[in-house]
Structure formats: structure tokens, C-alpha cells
Structure 1
Amino acid sequence: MLITALRTLRARWVTFVGSFTALALGVALLTVTGLALASSLDVPDRAPERFAAAPVVVQGQDTLRVPTPVGDRVHRLAHPRPVPAHTIARLKRLGPVAEDRAFPVRAADGTRLTGRPWSIAAFTPYDLTAGRAPKAPHEAVATGPGVRPGDRLRTDHGVLHVVGTAEPGTALREAALFVTDARAAALAPAAPTRLVVDAAPAAVRAAVADAPGVQVLTGAARRLADPGPDRDAEALTAMNALFGTAGGVTAFVSVFVVASTFAFAVAQRRREFGLLRTVGATPGLLRRTVAAEALLVGLLAAATGCVLGGLGAPYLAAWAADAGLAPAWFEIGAHGWPYHLAFWTGLLVALLGVAAASWRAGRTAPAQALREAAVDAGARTPGRLLCGAALLLTAAVTLALALACDPGGLLGRKSYVSRPMLLITAVALLAPVLLPPLFRLMVRLPGVTAMLVRENAAAGVRRTAAVAAPVLVTVGLAGSLLGATATVQAAKSAETRARSAAHFVVTPRGDTALDAATLRRLGTVPGTTVSATSPSAVYVLEEGVALIRSQARAADPDALAATSRLPLTAGRVTGLDDDSIIVNEEWERHRVGDRVDVWLGDGTRRSLRIAAVMRTGTGDNGVYVTPANAPGARPDRVDVRLVPDADPGTAATALRAAAGPSAEVRTTDEWLRATHPEAGRTTRYGLFLVLGIALLHTALSLVNTAVMATSDRAPELAALRLAGATRAQTLRLVAAEALAVVAVGGLLGLLVAVLNLLGMRGALALLEVPAPVRLPWPALGAVLAACAALAVTASVTSAALTLRRRA
């Protein structure tokens, strides 16, 4: 069998190269995404940065820990608690204490800095590179390039004289500005959430024993006091989701393309199989020969793909880090299972790709095989049509169940990534039935060329379906993923717009909060009703085991009712008070009047009455509480509604004067465009990564399949030349056929995208969110144009070489 397989591969080297290329590329992409996913599973050990030189760090409660029957459930608090004053007094009796009082600073040029007391700088440590330490209230030590001693720094806290510059002795990267301890205490009068104690750790632990939740950090645990201590874990969680999605899409595209290519390669040899059956070859001999060829090609291609994937994975990691999708430290580790998974998956797909075709070839009688070699009359096999119909029915049933039980689930990434795969496979299996009528509908131009395109497509259904398959995958995935993202984003924007009755929105410039003086000035603007809201969080234990964190906003009920149109299903906004909460239908308990046990943003446990219930919507409705139930929350938004007779221009001018330079006044539509863009940078890059990997494979597969299909048409092209067609006419016919096949494949892909987005539109309608379906026409046009260029170039080039050999 092996010798026979080698001889047949040598005789059909174009088919061998095509199958080898498809499988090697598929295995390489699986290896790359597998290695990236494996490398994102482990959080590296990080050394302390901000307090690397601190003997002991005492930190207030910053996590909520709730015991359940299946173990403790932990969430990070939205508003960490400060260290109690009596605990600080007790710690000061043990030794020197440096309080870390941080406050935001905004320079006149818009630069955002973090102000800190100079006494805390020694525990990073920050070393003076020039000048001296601050001694007067108006003096400061600055970090970073471009600042020198003697500079005057204009900030929202007045003019500061830079008397020194400093650099951290660790990898900490922070735009810090150090002032005297007295000045920091005046600018940040709230009790500190962390401090450094120069005392024995055991004595410090004994001193804080009666302060619940207060942590004593020493050694490597001091990194928990760094900014964003969970940033590595959060980054890896995001990378897991990203590379998991990319791996899933890559696996689907690879399996689809490789199986299609191998099945087409076997189908091309029907005449050869008919001749072998005529001279006495048994069905078992044919099956073993085809399996041996697939095994040989599969082994070589899978091994090559693993090598290529191992070489390409570091480039993917570097790109992900440069694009901000991964931390700067992310790199590919030494993992073995992605190689095994990719190798054996590729080999199995190669064998399965030829299994059905080889089984059918073995069962075909000699005369029947020779008859089918001329026309693809047997492309519409009952098994293929039955599988396609079953997958289509499965997609319809699962969609109906999702719409009936959980319409919001259709808006999730898992749904709009996986559902197109089911539809693409179903449409590809039904392609032999769909392609002929589509060609007759689309290619209705008069003339010999149009007639030949129609008849050739009808006679070569397998060839047409094989070339159209990569286009179907490309357009279907691009339309579904980009369209779903745009549709969900538009729905979120429309939902936010529908919730607001405000004419203007005032927000702080940068990441700071609005100060009390600004809020007082905004409240005095005539002809307006203002509602200041603060971001917070509420935690609830559902089903006794799941600790759920819900985004919350704290607001005055009367002002909130005047400036918003919350999508309530029960209750009223003005029913909110310090003993109640507004929840949404996602909560386990969501009946007006019921009481729910919750933990507030600082970990305080409360029992609150449900005052009103909102629709679930797209999942961004969150909950609402009063400021009394959001301790530590600071206003970051003011919604302004004008009275009926107020002039918008006059009101805008007055609002900007009251807001001052530290806040920005925008109309509600301007604020929506700024805060709800079409897609965030990370989302766009993530989609580019997922689609880029998939489209790379399908693009090369399109070229590969077009070359394989055209090289097999040498007798047909020679017959056209003998019938009187010139070389140019023959090549134009090949180009026209390639364009027609790409157009039909694009139409089927568009059908998949539309069906997927219509299901999402139905979910939005059930959720009562007004949003249109967004099809990414520019992206689809670019993808289709690229597919057309690749298919025409590959087909015409291959046909030209074939005609030259025939001559």
C-alpha cells in the first residue's frame, strides 16, 4: 500500500501539494493558538513594586469574603475600607508610621499625576536624581522625564515649585508627584487605606487583631498593595478568553478547510478509481490506498505544521503585547500539549476527510465511476443532504430555545462566535443543492461565456463547491463576528440613550471625581435640574453559593427620576430611599417589596427592600442605590435636564462656567459618542486577531483549491482550444467562472451572517432594546474583493500554465 500510495502521489503532485499545504497551515495555526492559550494559563510571580523597601505594610479591608457551603467566595471591594483610626494610633506606639495618602493631580497641560507624601517615597524606594526633598507646602518632587528642579508646575491644586526629581528603584511606572506630608494630609484628609510600619511583623499583627479585614503584608505579599494587584490575573483571564475564541475559530476553520480539501482531492480521482475498478481492484484495496496516502500526507504535513507553529507563536505573543491585548511580560512558554493536540487533530482530520469519499469510491461500480467522472451527478448524496438538513434544523431549534429561555445569552460572545460555525457547516453541506439554482439566477447574461459559466458550474458541482467553501467561511465569519459586535454596541448605545432624559452631561476631565465645590456651582445654574451619580457596586449571594457583583450607581431618587427614564417593569424610581434598592430582572429575587441581603461597595452588609425592578436589557442596567448605601463613592457624572422654557445655548454657557477647567460639559449625544464608541480598541484588535487567523487560512485555502480545481481541467481546456477558442478567450472564461464562484460563495456567506444577525435582532426585540441590525458592508466588500482577486489570479495563472503544457 505504501509503495502504491507513493507512486500515486508522485503522479498527482498538484493534489499532494494542495492537500499538504492546507493541512500544514491548519496544524500551524492550531499550534500557534494552542501555545498562546497554554502560556496564558499561568500568572507569573511578581515582586513588590510600590512598597518593595517597606518592612511591613498595613492595608485596610479591600476584599469581601463570604462563607458558603462550598467554600468561601471572594470579591474585591469597589471601595476599600481605610485603616481604623484607633488601629493607626496603636501602630504608632510600635514604631514610625508613614501614611500613604494618594490624591489626583491634573497639570495645566492635561497631564494626570498621582500626588503622594514624600515620607512614603523611601519605601519604593524613590531615589533623588537631582535637587532636594520638599519642605514647604508649595514645593514638590517630580518623576519622569522633561522636569527639572526650578520648574513651576501649574496644577488644579495651585502652582508647585519643583525642587527635586526622583526615579523609582523598582519596575514601578507611575507619574507621581511628591509633596510634604502636611500638604498631602490637607489634600487627602480621608483616613488612609494603607500605611507602612517600621516594627516587628508579629507585633503589628497583634496590634490589628481586633480590626476586621485589616491585612498585614510582608515579604512577597507586599505586592498586594501595588496598584492593580490583580492586573496580571485579569489580563490573563482576558487573554484566555481571546485566545480561547481564536483557538475555537481556528480549529473550526482548519477542520472545515482541511476536510473539504482532502475530500475534494479524493473526488478528483473518480476516473482513476473507475479504471482501477475496471482492471480488478477491490473496494478494500481502493480504501486502503486512499487511507495510506492520507496517512502519509497527514504525517508529513502535521509535523511541518507543528514546526511552523512553534516558530510563529513568539511573533503572535509579541504582536499581542504591542497591541495591548497582553501584558508587556507575556511570552510563549515551553508547553507540549498544544503540539500533541494540533498534530493528532490534523492527522485525524486528514483521515476523516477522505473516509467518506474513499468509502463511496470503493462501493461504486466500475462503469458508474467512469460515468460520474465526467459529470458530478453524485455530488448530492443522501447522507450529505441529510447531515446538512440536520445541522440546519439544529441551528433553528437551538435558536428558538435560546429566544424562549435566555434571549440575553444570544448577545454573548460565545453565542455569536459559535452559532455561525453551525450555519456555515450546514450551508456547505447543502451547497450541491444550492449552487446550481444560484448560478442560474446570478449568471443570466446573454452570450456564450455566460452560458459556459452556468453549464460548467452545473456540471462540476464538487469543484464549484470546493472553491466556494473558503469564500463561504470567510464572508460568513467576517459578517457574523463584525456584524454581531456592531449590533450589540449599537444596542447598548440605544439603550443608554433611551434611559436618559438629560440634555447635558457633565463629567470630570480624566479619571478624577467631581469635587463638592463644582457640584454646588452646577446645582445653582438657573433653568436646570441636576442629578449627580456615583459609581459603586453591590454584592449578593444567589442560590447560597454564588457571590454576584453588580455595578451600581448612587443617586438622589427625585433628581434621578427627573433626569432619567429607567426601563422599569415594576415599582417607581421615587420609591428609592436609604432602606431600598432598584434591581433588574437578572437578580434571583426581583419582586417589589421583597427584602434582599446585600453587601455594599465597602463590604457593609445590609438588608434592603426592592423599590423597583428594571428590565434586563443588554446587561448594562445594573442597580441603583442612594448615596447612603454607597460609602466611599465619589460623583463622576452629572446629568442635567433643562426646564421647558430654558434656552440650551444659555444653559450650556452657564454650565461650562460652573464646571470650570476640571470638568467637561457635553450634550447627551456627544457624551454617548465619546463613551459608547462603535468598538473599543481592545475589542477591535481582538476581532482582528480572531478573524486574521481565520482569514489567513481561508485565503490560502482559496488559492490552493482554485489551483487544484483548474489543474484538473486540462482536457476540458484543451477541448475548448480545439473547438476554436483562443487562449485569451479561454483564460477570460476561467476568470469569469472564478468570479461567479466567489460571488455565489459570498452570497451564501452573507446568508449565514444575515441569519445569525436576525437571531440576535429577535433577542433584542424580546429584551425591548431598540437597535437595528448592523451589517459591516465595507468589511464584507473588502473581504469579497480580496477573495475575488485571489481566486481569479490563482485560476488564471494555473490555467495559463496548463494551456502552455498542453501546447
Structure 2
Amino acid sequence: MLSIAIRTLRTRWVTFAGSFVALALGVSLITVMGLALASSTDAPERRPERFAQAPVMVRGQDTLRVPTAAGIRTEKLAQPRPVPAKTVAALRRLGRVTEDRSFAVRAEGAPHDLVGHPWSTAAYAPYELTAGRAPKASDEVVATGDWTSVGSRLRTGGGLVRVVGMAKVEGAGTSEAADHAFKNALFYTDARAARLAPLSTQLVVDADAAAVRRVVGTGAEVLTGVGRRLADADPDRDREALTALNALFGTAGGVTGFVSVFVVASTFAFAVAQRRREFGLLRTAGATAGQIRRTVCAEALLVGTLASATGCALGAYAAPHLASWVVDGGLAPSWFTIGAPTWPYHAAFWTGLLVSLCGATAASWRAGRTAPTEALREASVDSETLTRGRLWSGTALLATAAATPALALLTDPGDLLHRKTYVSRPMLLITAVALLSPALVRPLVRLIARLPGAVGMLVRENAAAGVRRTAAVAAPVLVTVALTGSLLGAAATLNGARTTETRHRTAADFVLTSPAGFDNATLRHLRTIPGTEVSPTASSAVYVLEDGVALIKSEARAADPRALARTVRLPLTAGRVTALDDDSIIVNEEWQTHTVGRRVTVWLDDGTRKSLRIAAVMPVGTGDNGAYVTPANAPRAPVDQVEVKLRKGADAPRVAAALKATTDRTDAEVLTRRQWIRSTAPSGIWAPGDRTTRLGFLLVLGIALLYTGISLVNTLVMATSDRLPELSSLRLTGATRAQVLRLITAESLTVVAVGALLGLLVAVLNLLGLWTALALQSVWTPLRLPWPALGTATAACALLAVVAALPPAAAALRRSALEATL
């Protein structure tokens, strides 16, 4: 059987070329993913940055620790506690104490991530002056980066300042200098920084570490050595970036494996259908059904071995380039490189071999059932295209694809809104529809192919008669269109739902935002503007222990309930906004305890434990409905948002001018209701800042389109090469060469249309589940299909199909013309 398989591969290399390329690409992507995952687990420990030269760092408690029956559960506090005043006084007796104050700065023409620091902390990076001098007056600053220069005047939220010096990190290379921890900063005098940021949660102590620990005790955290990196901004950014990177490659790898099996199984099934006369001759010559099956499996083994080895080599070559791409794109830390692990090669090679064997298994069983009488078969009409095994498998997958979201809708509708869910669930339905597609091909073809005349009749009859060929060509189109519609449609629908939530919730006419927070003087001035209702809110968080073991963090906002009720329409399912007081909380239905009047034990944003009564309950929505507390339960949370509603008869332009005049010397941004909705809840496919999701989806869809091209080219080349007698008959009946080529083009476009319709059907069914889940979460939004993307994907498939079908057809026509002259 092995020698027969080798000869078959040699003579029918066109048949197996598509499977070889698909498997090789799949294995290469799995290799790249494995190498990336292995390299990310061996990540080097980030060194201290801003405080690399600091002797000892002392930080206030920034982690909530709750003992449970399953151990201590921890969460980062939204508002870290400052070092106690008594501790600071005791530390000053040990040595010099430098308080660090970091605060967001908004300035005209400045980067959006500009951060302010006191100048005394610059020595610990260390920074060095490259031009000018250190700041001495309250309106003087030293800047880093290349966005400004000495002598420039900047209008910031804290007033007008003058740049008197430029600094950079001493001895930093290009990659370090580009790091956001150093790139864009303004250094103020210590006194000015203390006024702009009165609260300091960490400080530098020039003293012996052991003595510092004795003084601090358990009231704060002492950092030395590598541990000083925890005092840098966002010390967990490497871990978060690698987590996103792993999710990106994990999704791409899952789609790669799915489409690889899909393409290989489809290719082998079509190849077996084309070779039924060949297998019939072997059965006539005495070959058993088992020998036929072993022949097909041997062919798959040979193709899988060669393709897997090639894919490993391609993956080793591509992995470093991909690592550079994700680093340049900001998806991975600057240090991220591909290491030299060996297990990804083993995993990819054996996975590819297993995929090839799995793809050929079903085809081998069909080949084994070939009867000797098939050797006499000449008819081109397919029969028994939907076998009993294919019908049962497709029906079972279809039932599973319908039952899983139905169960989720009954038990946990919010699960369908998670990215990992709406990325993976479409694959079940795609496979089910593809298996059942032979039963749908004939009616769809007769519905679509309504061209007049002989060409239209031939297109309809050829596509309907060659069901296996039509289904094999339509399958990859189905995958591409279904994934495009399901993934991009889910993202667009969810963003549309968020837009709907924001529009319904916002009753204010103006929304003011400030990343650094509004000071008390500005808030007092805002309240004096005539004709307005003003509601300041602060970003906070609360923590709750569910089931006695799970510590859950919930985003929260602190607001005055009466002002909140006038400017915000909270979507409540029970209770009243005005019932909120210092002894209560507003929660959503995702909380384990969400009954009005019940008390729930929570930890506030600074770790304070408190028992609060539930005043009102909100639906879960898209997941952005957080909790609400009063300012008394978030005393140190800075007010970062102010909603302003016009009273009856108020002059909107005059109020807008007054708001801008009041906030002119701050970093606040004044937005109208329409501008606020557009900036916070975009209605397009991609939300601002969601770059990882965008690149991940584009990578997945790129893989699907690549496999579609491979499968289309391979299947159409195989099919056209076997249609030489049919094309010759058309020529003998008087059809011109151009007419035959137009017929081939029309058939290809018809089959692509069949696949596109099936893919659109799958996408709509998937999105209907998502839409129903949103409705159950009390969010009513229209279903959004990405028509431009769907049109682009379909057009690309149509172009590939025509390009793949015409050259072999033209070659076949030339051969038949030559044979006719001999």
C-alpha cells in the first residue's frame, strides 16, 4: 500500500498540493505560537527604572488581602494608602526622606501620557540635564522627550509654566529612552508638586534597609533591590502585555487548527470522490476495503510528514520576524525575543501529522466502501452526496451549536458577550453547516443561477449535478464569510450596544472630564454657574467576597445621589437612585447578592471593610454597569467627571462659555452630550485603544482568507483537470473557446455565491444569539453586520475562484484542440 501511495502522490501531485500547503502553513503558525508562548514564560524580570538609584523605597499598602477558607485572596487597591504620618516622622530621623508625587498633566501640544514629578526624585533614575537648569520657581519645569524645548511656555491644568531645562535618563539606550516610564515627564519644584498632588503614597529613604523595616513594621511595604521596580508606574505592564500576546496567539492557533482540519478533510473527501473509478478498478483487481483505507491513510501520512517538517522550518524562520512585529506594534515589551525551546517543534510536528490523519479518516472510510462496479461509472451526476455518517455528524453538531447558546441564554446570558465565547462558538455552526451543505447546494444553486439562455441553464445544471465539487468549493468561502460576519459583527454589535447604553444613560447636556481630577475651587465655581444642575462623580472601586473564596473587584463611581438622579438615567431593575446614602450601595445583577434591602460586606477602594445596604439594583448590560457609592465611602477618590444639566430656560451657548471659562486654567475637557457619546462609546467595529483585539481579529481573518485561497485553488484545479471530456463535448457541440471560459467563470462565481450565502446564514445565526443575550441583559440594540468587510471577503473569494478556474480550463481547451487535430 505504501508503494501505491507513493506512486499516487507522484502522479496526482496537484491533488495533494493544496493539503500540503495548508498543513505546512498551519504547522508553521503553531510553531510560531509555541515559540512565542515558551519565550514569554521565560520573561526576564524587569529592573527598577525611575528609582534605580534609590537606597530604600517605602510604599503605603496598595494590596487588599482577605483571608478565606481556601487561603488569602488579594486584589490591587484602587486607592493605595499613604504612609502613616507617624511613620514618615520616624523615618526622617533615620535619614533624608524624599516624597514621590506622580500626577497626570494635560498641556497644549503635549503627549497624552504626560506625567508630573517633583524634581528631587529625578536623581534616583538618574536623570541628567542635557540643556538648561533645574526648576527654581513654581512656574518652572524640566521636560523630558523631544516634544518641547528650553524656553517654551506650556499652558497646563495647573497654570502657565516655562520649560527651563531638558533631561534624559543617564546612560539609557534607545530602547530604554523610548519606554513610557521615562519618555514624557515634567519635573516641578517639590513645593509646586506638593500643591498639585497633596497625597504621596511612596517615598525614598536614605537609610539602612534593616532600620527602615524596624520603623515601618506592618504599616507599609519596604522595597529594596529588584523589588524597587514595584514603585515604577504600571509595574505589571509586562505581565499584562504577555497575557494579551498569549491570547492573541492562542486564538490564532485555535483557528489555524480548525481551518487546517477543515481544508484537509474537504480536500481528501473531494479527492476520494474523484477517484471512485480508480478505487473501483483496485477493488475489481482484488483489493480489499481495508487495503483501500490504508492506501488513503498512507497518502495522508506521507503528505502530513513532509508538510509538518516544512512547517516547522517555516515557523523557525518566521517567529523572530513576528516577535519584532509585535514589539514594534506595542503588543509586547521591548525585550521580547524568541528563545530556543524545542517542545514547540515537537508539538507542531505531531499536531500537523495528527491533523492530516484526522482529515483523511472520513475519506478513507468512504474510499473503502467503493464497490467494484464503480470502475464502470461514467456519469458525472453525484449520488449519495450526503452520506449517513455525514448527516448524523452534521445534525449532532447543529444540535450542539444550537443547544450551547440556548443553555447560556437560560443560565448566564453574559457569557455570550465574552470575547473568547463569540470567537469560538461560530466554529461549531460552521462545521455543522459545511457537513450538511450537500443538501443545501441544489436549491441554492437553482435560486442563484438564474442567467438567461444556454449559459444560465448549463451553470445551473453543472453546479447542481456536481454537488460534491460545488460543496467542496463553497466550504472555504463559507468559513471566510462566516468568520468575518461573526467576529466583526459581534464586535460591531457590542460597540453599538455600549453606544446605546451611554445614550440612554446620559441625561446631562455637558460632560466635563479631567485625568488629573478637579480641585475643590473649580468644583465650587462650577456649582455657581446659573441655570445648571451639577453632578461631580469620582472613579472608585469596591471589593466583595463571593462564595467565601472569590474576591471580586467591581468598578464603582462615587456620587451625590440627588445630583446623580438629575443628570444620569441609571437603568434600574429595583430600588431608587435617591435611596443611596452613606450606609448603602447600588449594585448590578451580576453580584451574588443583589436584593434591595439586603446588606452586603464590601471592602472600599482603600481597603476599609464595611457592611452596606443595597439601595438599588441595575441590570448587567454589556458589563459596564458598575457599583455606585456616596463620596463618604470613597473619600480619597479624585473627582474626574462632572455632568452638567441645563435647567429649563437656560441659555446653552452661555453655559458652555461659562464652563470653558471656569476650566480654562485646568486640564479639563468640556464635551457636549453628543461629543461625549461619540468619544466614549464608538459605534464602529473597533473601540479606541482596543488594538490587541483589532490585530487579533485581522490575524484570524487573514488566516481564514489564506486557507480559503489555498483550498479554492486546489479544489478548482483538481475539478477542472477532470472535466476535459465535458469541455471537449461543449467544443464539439459548437461552443466557442470564449463561451466555455465564460461558462467556467459563471460557475465559479455561482459556487462562491452559494458559499457566501451559507456563511452569511451562519453569521446571522451567531449574531442572533449575541443579540438575544444583550436583550436579556436589558440592552436593546440593532443587529450590526459588517457589510463592507463581508463584501470585501466575498469579492476576494470570487477573484480567487475565477483566477484559479480559468488557467486550467484554458489549458484543457488547448489540449483538447490539439488532440482534435491529431
Normalising by the smaller structure, the TM-score range is over 0.9
Distance change in 2, residues 1:372/1:751 (3 Å): farther
User: Are the counterparts in 1 of residues 18 and 710 from structure 2 also a CA contact under 8 Å?
Assistant: no
* Other structure's SS at 2:616 match: strand
User: Are the counterparts in 1 of residues 272 and 366 from structure 2 also a CA contact under 8 Å?
Assistant: no
* Other structure's SS at 2:167 match: strand
Structure 1 partner of 2:633: 629
User: Are the counterparts in 2 of residues 578 and 629 from structure 1 also a CA contact under 8 Å?
Assistant: yes
For these two proteins, the number of residue pairs brought into alignment is 802
Give, in whole Å, the separation in 2 of the partners of 1:744 and 1:9: 31
1:679-718 aligned at under 5 Å gives the runs 679-680=686-687, 681-682=690-691, 683-718=693-728
Offset from partner CA, 1:28-50 (integer Å, 9 cap, x none): 23323333344344443111101
Structure 2 partner of 1:123: 124
Structure 2 partner of 1:645: 649
Q: Greater CA deviation, 364-373 or 598-607?
A: 364-373
Give, in whole Å, the separation in 2 of the partners of 1:92 and 1:624: 40
Structure 2 partner of 1:515: 519
Give, in whole Å, the separation in 2 of the partners of 1:655 and 1:761: 39
Give, in whole Å, the separation in 1 of the partners of 2:148 and 2:322: 37
Tell me by how many angstroms 1:647 deviates.
3.4
Give, in whole Å, the separation in 2 of the partners of 1:348 and 1:440: 39
- One-letter code aligned to 1:594: R
Give, in whole Å, the separation in 2 of the partners of 1:348 and 1:502: 60
* Other structure's SS at 2:518 match: coil
Structure 2 partner of 1:401: 407
Structure 2 partner of 1:139: 140
Tell me by how many angstroms 1:504 deviates.
1.7
Tell me by how many angstroms 1:147 deviates.
4.8
User: Are the counterparts in 2 of residues 571 and 611 from structure 1 also a CA contact under 8 Å?
Assistant: yes
User: Are the counterparts in 2 of residues 582 and 612 from structure 1 also a CA contact under 8 Å?
Assistant: yes
* Other structure's SS at 2:105 match: strand
Distance change in 2, residues 1:702/1:415 (3 Å): same
In structure 1, stretches of 5+ residues that fail to align are none
Give, in whole Å, the separation in 2 of the partners of 1:765 and 1:131: 61
Decide which of 525, 529, 552 is 2:529's aligned counterpart.
525
Offset from partner CA, 1:703-736 (integer Å, 9 cap, x none): 2222222222222222222222221111111111
Tell me by how many angstroms 1:157 deviates.
3.2
Distance change in 2, residues 1:282/1:9 (3 Å): same
Offset from partner CA, 1:135-166 (integer Å, 9 cap, x none): 34343332223655455444443444444322
Give, in whole Å, the separation in 2 of the partners of 1:125 and 1:220: 16
Alignment of 1:204 with 2:212, yes or no, is yes
Offset from partner CA, 1:154-208 (integer Å, 9 cap, x none): 4443444444322113534232222332332233333x11111111111000000
Alignment of 1:794 with 2:804, yes or no, is yes
Tell me by how many angstroms 1:403 deviates.
1.2
Give, in whole Å, the separation in 2 of the partners of 1:167 and 1:686: 35
Q: Greater CA deviation, 384-393 or 674-683?
A: 674-683
Structure 2 partner of 1:614: 618
User: Are the counterparts in 1 of residues 512 and 670 from structure 2 also a CA contact under 8 Å?
Assistant: yes
Decide which of 304, 307, 312 is 2:313's aligned counterpart.
307
Structure 2 partner of 1:324: 330
User: Are the counterparts in 1 of residues 110 and 147 from structure 2 also a CA contact under 8 Å?
Assistant: no
- One-letter code aligned to 1:748: L
Structure 2 partner of 1:571: 575
User: Are the counterparts in 2 of residues 27 and 254 from structure 1 also a CA contact under 8 Å?
Assistant: no
Give, in whole Å, the separation in 1 of the partners of 2:552 and 2:761: 39
- One-letter code aligned to 2:532: T
Offset from partner CA, 1:658-698 (integer Å, 9 cap, x none): 33253222222211111112323413223212222222222
Tell me by how many angstroms 1:258 deviates.
1.7
Distance change in 2, residues 1:634/1:11 (3 Å): same
* Other structure's SS at 1:73 match: strand
User: Are the counterparts in 2 of residues 270 and 372 from structure 1 also a CA contact under 8 Å?
Assistant: no
Distance change in 2, residues 1:36/1:696 (3 Å): farther
1:402-441 aligned at under 5 Å gives the runs 402-441=408-447
Distance change in 2, residues 1:270/1:445 (3 Å): same
User: Are the counterparts in 1 of residues 276 and 370 from structure 2 also a CA contact under 8 Å?
Assistant: no
Tell me by how many angstroms 1:418 deviates.
1.5
Give, in whole Å, the separation in 1 of the partners of 2:519 and 2:324: 42
* Other structure's SS at 1:430 match: helix
Alignment of 1:186 with 2:186, yes or no, is no
Distance change in 2, residues 1:714/1:157 (3 Å): same
* Other structure's SS at 1:444 match: coil
Give, in whole Å, the separation in 2 of the partners of 1:131 and 1:424: 65
Offset from partner CA, 1:536-565 (integer Å, 9 cap, x none): 110111111101000000000100111111
Tell me by how many angstroms 1:652 deviates.
2.5
Alignment of 1:488 with 2:497, yes or no, is no
Alignment of 1:230 with 2:236, yes or no, is yes
Distance change in 2, residues 1:762/1:114 (3 Å): closer
Offset from partner CA, 1:406-459 (integer Å, 9 cap, x none): 111111112211221011100100011000111011112221111111111122
Alignment of 1:66 with 2:66, yes or no, is yes
Tell me by how many angstroms 1:107 deviates.
3.1
Give, in whole Å, the separation in 2 of the partners of 1:210 and 1:324: 38
1:273-672 aligned at under 5 Å gives the runs 273-368=279-374, 370-371=376-377, 374-508=380-514, 511-660=515-664, 662-672=667-677
- One-letter code aligned to 2:136: K
Distance change in 2, residues 1:163/1:719 (3 Å): same
Decide which of 245, 252, 275 is 1:239's aligned counterpart.
245
Q: Greater CA deviation, 384-393 or 547-556?
A: 384-393
Decide which of 235, 246, 271 is 2:277's aligned counterpart.
271
Structure 1 partner of 2:790: 780
Give, in whole Å, the separation in 2 of the partners of 1:26 and 1:133: 57
Offset from partner CA, 1:94-152 (integer Å, 9 cap, x none): 11111112334333434453232222111111122233333343433322236554554
Distance change in 2, residues 1:283/1:43 (3 Å): same
Distance change in 2, residues 1:161/1:615 (3 Å): closer
- One-letter code aligned to 1:759: G
Give, in whole Å, the separation in 2 of the partners of 1:108 and 1:772: 39
TM-score by length of 2: 0.94
User: Are the counterparts in 1 of residues 260 and 355 from structure 2 also a CA contact under 8 Å?
Assistant: no
User: Are the counterparts in 1 of residues 265 and 362 from structure 2 also a CA contact under 8 Å?
Assistant: no
Give, in whole Å, the separation in 2 of the partners of 1:161 and 1:281: 91
- One-letter code aligned to 2:214: A
Q: What's the % identity of the aligned pairs?
A: 68
* Other structure's SS at 2:377 match: helix
Tell me by how many angstroms 1:641 deviates.
1.5
Give, in whole Å, the separation in 1 of the partners of 2:337 and 2:45: 14
Give, in whole Å, the separation in 1 of the partners of 2:378 and 2:506: 66
User: Are the counterparts in 2 of residues 91 and 207 from structure 1 also a CA contact under 8 Å?
Assistant: yes
- One-letter code aligned to 2:753: A
User: Are the counterparts in 2 of residues 105 and 155 from structure 1 also a CA contact under 8 Å?
Assistant: yes
Distance change in 2, residues 1:326/1:518 (3 Å): same
- One-letter code aligned to 2:185: A
Q: Greater CA deviation, 639-648 or 592-601?
A: 639-648
In structure 2, stretches of 5+ residues that fail to align are none
Structure 1 partner of 2:182: 173
User: Are the counterparts in 2 of residues 19 and 265 from structure 1 also a CA contact under 8 Å?
Assistant: no
